[in-house]
Structure formats: structure tokens, C-alpha cells
Structure 1
Amino acid sequence: MLVRELTTDDLDAAWELGRFAFGGGQERPASTSVDVPGMTRYGAFDEAGRLVGKAVDLHHDQWWSGRTVPAADVGGVAVAPEARGRGVARAMLTALLAGAHDRGAAVSALYPTVAAPYRAFGWETAGVLRTVDLATSRLPRHRSAPHLTVRAGTPADLPAVADLYEQVTRHLNGMLTRRGKLFDFFAADGGLPGDGLTLVEEDGHLVGYATWQRGSGYGADSVLTVDEALATTAEAARELVGVLARWASVAPTLRLCPLDGDAVSVQLPLEAAREHERNLWMHRPVDVARAVSARGWPDHARGVVDFGLTDPIAEWNTGTWRLAVADGAAELTRIGGEADLRLDVRGFALLYAGAARARSVAQTGLLHTTGVEPDALDLLGVGGPAHLLDYF
């Protein structure tokens, strides 16, 4: 089996493989037949030269406590049915991680259709992207704030929307920056990201927005899908929710992905929400030293801890390391000897993403100790849990 980067000559076969794997229709997006900047496509070929597997490295950046961390997010993994169970996915993802490491990536996220194979390759579950349905009539309605202006947005407003998204997300962990060649490519048409864009402004400055899909009909089963609703003030969030509430007469259901704890979600009656869909996502380091040094760290975090790490797929991560955190920065350096704390790469992923504490990781068997308490490794996960709002 040969694994290599795909060329434009391979893209027809890659499209057909993905269509069969994911049950797609005949309509083919233009991006699947051309080179796309910020994306590396990998393929696995059998002895006859037939494409039997594909995977895509998305050159994203993720926000981690105010700093951007280069990522190799993974999408479009597909293996031909006749080749499944023969190590095709392992070969592709090993090549993808090596290529991502060579280009300077530090971390990786993906949405699995089945988690177990990706666990075998070092990814571990870190969070869930939830889509919920709310009765539009249940949304609170507040008196409109006289100092705020609500209007429909146009493509000319998209730079301001991108800036507000960054204000909300840059101090979180795991969120995509939505900057770079890949996002520029898909935004090149200059159109709105959905059917509509609603803006809330204060003194001419954007303080809240919602992008939405109208859907069809106006009866009892009509749904308004809000792709995103974010605000930088409580007043703007209340105004935005009030605008969405006024769709109740023609769209009885509001569908959205809440961002836990943000200004908009705390205005929503989420206790009345029904889960529409949940997409589990997984995380792993591409390069543990880069993952630690590139991210932001809380100023109050301070400490030193030694640990061993095992990563059978990305062997450059394997070894004994010293983590030192101080003054809003951290460094991971190799040291000699053995450590009393020994992590599997999946345990590193759980701690780094704030998805579990060290004692819980030890109970999973992904952290082993020799005569010491594991709590010192909680230092690796300070800064709160990671989030994702983008599906890829």
C-alpha cells in the first residue's frame, strides 16, 4: 500500500470514494475538483494503483487562551469497503501526522463517525458540539434598548462579524480562529454565510450578530436554524434573543448550537431545549512541545511536573518531559531517566483539553503512577475546557 498526497488527477476518484462512504448525492462542490490552499489531501493506493482511502489535513489555527496554536484538523476520512480492516486508516493518519508535524502543526481535532479507531491512533474525546431545538415562543422578550440598533447585515459587514467572533472566542480554548488561506478560499465568493445576517450595533459598533437559515414553510413544523449567535454584552445578547423570538409566528422552532456560558446562551431557556443532534469531537497533540509552548496560560498558573509520555503513532512525542508553567507561559523540555507519572498520548489529550482531571485520567488507565499522587498533572489542563463551534 502506498500513501501519498493527492494530486488534481486523483480528485475524481477521491470524490467517488467519499460519496460512497458518506452517502452523498450526485451534486459535487467545486472545491472537490481543484487544489484548495490550506488543505493537504492524503490518499492510500493498493497494489493496482486504485485509491482505497483518503483523509484531509485542514490547516486551521485554534485559539488557546488568547494565543493561536497551529492545528492539523482532520476531515473526510474514508476507506473503501473492500479495504477496511487492513490498516489503511492507520497508514493514512500516520502519514498525515508526520506531514503535519513537518509543516509545524501542534494539535489536531476531528469529528469521528466511530471513536474506537481514532482512539487507537491517539485521539481522545474532548467535547460535544450540541445542536438543540427550542420553542421560539419560549424565548424571553425584553424591552428594546434605546441605545442599540438592529439591522439586517450585508456582505460588507462580514469583516466586523469576523472581528466580533474573535473577541468572543480568542480567550477560550479550542475554537477555530477562522483566519488563513483555507477560510479565505471559501469566503472568496463574498456572499453571506446563510440566508440572513442580523446585526446589533451600539454607536455604530457591532456588539452582536446572528447568522441564520430560514428553512421552508410557516406551519407547525417550520424551523429557523441559527448557525451562530454571539454577542459581547448582555444588552446586545438580550436584544438578539428578542429579535429571534419575533420569528415565533412563522417558525415555531429555533435550532442552534449554544456556546456554553457565553452572553447569548445565558439568555436562553436551555432547560426547555430538546437535543436535535450531538457531534462528538476528539483531540490529540501533533507535537507536545509545540502544543505547550504555543498556547496561552493563565497568569496565576505556576508549577513544574515531570512525566513520561508514550505515543506509538507520533513517536517524536515519546519520552520523558518536564512541564514548567509560570507568568502566562509554559515550556516542555526533554529530560533523562524515568518519571513517576507516565501518560498515554490520549491521557495527554484529555488533560490538555481540560476534559478530565489527572485522578480521572489515572482511573481510565491512561495515566500510571509510581508512589506519587497524580494531581500535579492537572497543571497541564489549567484554563478551562475546550470548545468547538465549527463542524468539519
Structure 2
Amino acid sequence: MTTEPRVLRPDDWDVWYATLERAFGGLAEAPEERELWRALTETERSLGVWEDGRCVGTAGAFSFRMTVPGGAAVPAAGVTMVSVAATHRRRGVLTSLMRRQLDDVRALGEPLAVLTASEPAIYGRFGYGIGTYQLGATVDTSRVTLPRLPDEDGLRLRFAEPAEVRVECEALYARVVPERPGMIARGPGWERLPLLDPEGGRGGGSPLQCVLAERDGVPVGYARYHNKPSWEAQGPNGVVTLRDLEAVEPAAYAALWRFLFDLDLTSTVVVRNRPVDDAWQYLVSDVRRSLLTSRDSLHVRLVDVGAALAARTYRTPVDVVFDVVDAFCPWNTGRWRLSGDAEGAVCARTEDPADLRLSVRELGAAYLGGTGLGALAAAGRVTEVRAGALARATTAFGSDLAPWLPHGF
């Protein structure tokens, strides 16, 4: 067989996507889910490997703009729909797809590639580092409470059909995107994703519900969730599963969380994907009964080291020479001088001696400010060549808010 990928033709989409579904267990998606992903697929950025007319490998990319420290929206390839048929593993199919894809991303001038990994062990060898984590929780709301904030006076909460307030919710989402690294601006069509609600994805809960927070008639926050009623001998024991929540003021944020905690006939709130520094943790009466968990989320790959490092800002002034190793994209290998501060940065090749030595994978992990270069050095993945450079770079690369990817792709 040949492992040379080719660009997807629109009329091949069904076969291509069926290959992906089989690789992820063989269960067919709900029609509305499948239709949405078909509409969002950028066929010109989608690749397949074919043998005797059969698709045996898939990979795609979305054209995103992602917030980086400093608030800039930087072009990023959202790598997606990656699979290899079980009959064709360990034949170089995945490597050929990653090779072609990163070459294409570079040719398009996108400095970053990002993905969420079904198996985190796969992508490190292609230069991806874990750039964000997500917070989960299972809160015992029969024993955990939230305080009322003084500024909640004047707020009104009301139920709304999710589709009927889509425009208002998307406007609120767009307002918060520039504030947190890792968030992705939702282009045309992507506003449908938060409303996708196949019955099989509800975990036995209700259809998607929405509550809107308004101040003086102006939306300032929203929460979307599922409610799963349950009764035991002792009484009602329902579960609220949060889908997403955004607010543009602390009072609305607190009021929405307390609404979820106080829903009648429920005793548990399940949270699956929130920022690791989400403020509700610091409002609850008992964080231990909130059973916090953490897992990897967005994996980040610097496709163009110079352009990527120059695209973000830095918390403190930094002037550091990185000696970068990038075996898969050798155009990044070598020494790069980064000079920048909170106003901007430049990064260019240099012959100056190195201050820090690391691979492009570590740069990806640290890029959004959620993983410290110092922590990576403690793990033996960054080497300090010039004394003091590590501490200064670690501080400079930090972010005031933890990076976060609010939804998959």
C-alpha cells in the first residue's frame, strides 16, 4: 500500500467519516451530530489514506483563531478527526498524515497547531505538548453552599429555550474569549455546537436547559445544563450536569452557580470541563465535598517557533535564547532569541549562546502560560544553561488566567 495522504473530495466524506467512526468504536453518531460535523468539515484541509479504494486513515484541520497571553487571536490549525484503521496500525499511516498536515499548516502561515487527544501518549513524538488542563468536579450540593454576593441585587434569572437565546449567549461568549488563553473564537457554523443535544449524549438527563442572567434587561451571563431526576428511599437525589457557563460580571457568575446548586429535587452537580482556576472553587463552603479532578485538554504544537513566540506577550520583561530541538519539523531546530514584555515581543534566529535548552514539545506545553518552564525543568525536560535564565523565563511565560479550552472539536 501507499501511505501518501490525499486531500478529501467532498463526495468521499461519508466513507472517510465512517472510517473515523469505526476507529472510535463503531457506534454511529446521531444524525444531527453527523450533519453538524459534515457542515463544519473543511474538506480542503482534510486528508485520507486510501488502499484499493478503501479509506484506512483520516485527519482534518479547522481554521481557528485562538487567544494567547496578551489577548491576541492567533491563527491555529485545530487538528481533528485523526484515525488509523485497526487493520493498518504500525505501517506509518499516522506519521504520513502528521507529516503532510504540519507541512500544510506551515505553508498556510499558521504558527500553531492544536488538538485534543484521545490518547495523550500519541502526540508527543510529533511535537505536541499539553498546554491546558480542565477541571472536573462532583459537588454534593446537599452539603455544599455558595454565598450571595452584594452586587446580585438587580439581577434577574430566567429560563430560556437555548435556541431562542443563542445570539445573546454567543455574544457573551465572544466577550470573554479575548480574556483567557486557549479559548477559540467561534466562526460561522460553530455557534451550533453548544446547542448540539442528541439524546444519547444526555446521560439519561433532560434535554438541554438554559438559564439567562440579566441586569436591567441586558444579558450578563448564562448556564446550560441537563437535569436528571432520581429518587431514593430517603428522597429526591437528582443530578445536574453542567454543559457550559459564562458571565461577564462576578455577581452574575455567582448567581448562576448558586442556581445550579439550589435546583429543587437535586443533590449533585457534575462539572466536566472548567478552567483549573475557576472561581466557584473559592466560593463554595466545602471544597473537599466537591471532589475536584483534573485532566489534560488542549495539546499545543509550535509550527513556527519564531512567529508563535512573537505572537504573544509576556508578564515580565524577558530576553532569553532558546536552543530548540524539533526532530519532526527541523525548520524549528536551532537557537532563537526571544525579547519581549507586556507590550509585545520579537523572536528571531541567533548565533548567541543558549540560555535554555529544550524541545519544541516543552515550548508547546509552556506556550499558553499554564505549565511552567520551571516545572518542566524539574522533570528533566528543560535544561538551564545560563544561571537565572530559567526563573526569569518561567515568570515571563506565566498567565494571569489559566489557559482553557471550553469545548472540543
Match of 2:224, SS state, is strand
Structure 1 range deviating more: 233-242 or 379-388: 379-388
What's the CA shift for 1:82? 1.8
The match for 1:324 is 339
What's the CA shift for 1:380? 5.6
Map residues 1-392 of structure 1 onto 2, 5 A cutoff. 1-27=3-29, 28=31, 29-33=34-38, 36-37=41-42, 40-46=45-51, 48-64=52-68, 65-140=70-145, 145-154=152-161, 155-177=163-185, 179-181=186-188, 183=190, 195-215=208-228, 222-249=238-265, 251-256=266-271, 257-268=273-284, 269-274=286-291, 278-298=295-315, 301-336=316-351, 339-370=354-385, 372-375=387-390, 376-378=392-394, 381-384=397-400, 385-392=402-409
- 2 CA distance for matches of 1:39 and 1:184? 22
Match of 1:383, SS state, is coil
What's the CA shift for 1:84? 1.0
Match of 1:2, SS state, is coil
Asked whether the 8 Å contact 1:106–1:291 carries over to 2, the reply is yes
- 2 CA distance for matches of 1:15 and 1:70? 25
- Tell me the percent identity: 26
Unaligned runs of 5+ in 1: none
Match of 2:274, SS state, is coil
Asked whether the 8 Å contact 1:341–1:374 carries over to 2, the reply is yes
Give runs of ≥4 in structure 1 deviating > 6 Å: none
Unaligned runs of 5+ in 2: 197-201
- 1 CA distance for matches of 2:333 and 2:301? 14
Match of 1:173, SS state, is coil
Distance change (3 Å), C-alpha of 1:222 and 1:18: farther
- 2 CA distance for matches of 1:188 and 1:168? 19
What's the CA shift for 1:296? 4.0
- 2 CA distance for matches of 1:161 and 1:38? 29
- 1 CA distance for matches of 2:292 and 2:281? 15
Asked whether the 8 Å contact 2:354–2:386 carries over to 1, the reply is no
- CA RMSD in angstroms comes to 3.1
TM-score, length-scaled by structure 2: 0.83
- 2 CA distance for matches of 1:186 and 1:243? 24
Structure 1 range deviating more: 158-167 or 26-35: 26-35
What's the CA shift for 1:224? 1.9
Distance change (3 Å), C-alpha of 1:382 and 1:135: closer
Aligned residues: 386
What's the CA shift for 1:17? 1.4
Asked whether the 8 Å contact 2:144–2:289 carries over to 1, the reply is no
What's the CA shift for 1:332? 0.8
Asked whether the 8 Å contact 1:128–1:279 carries over to 2, the reply is yes
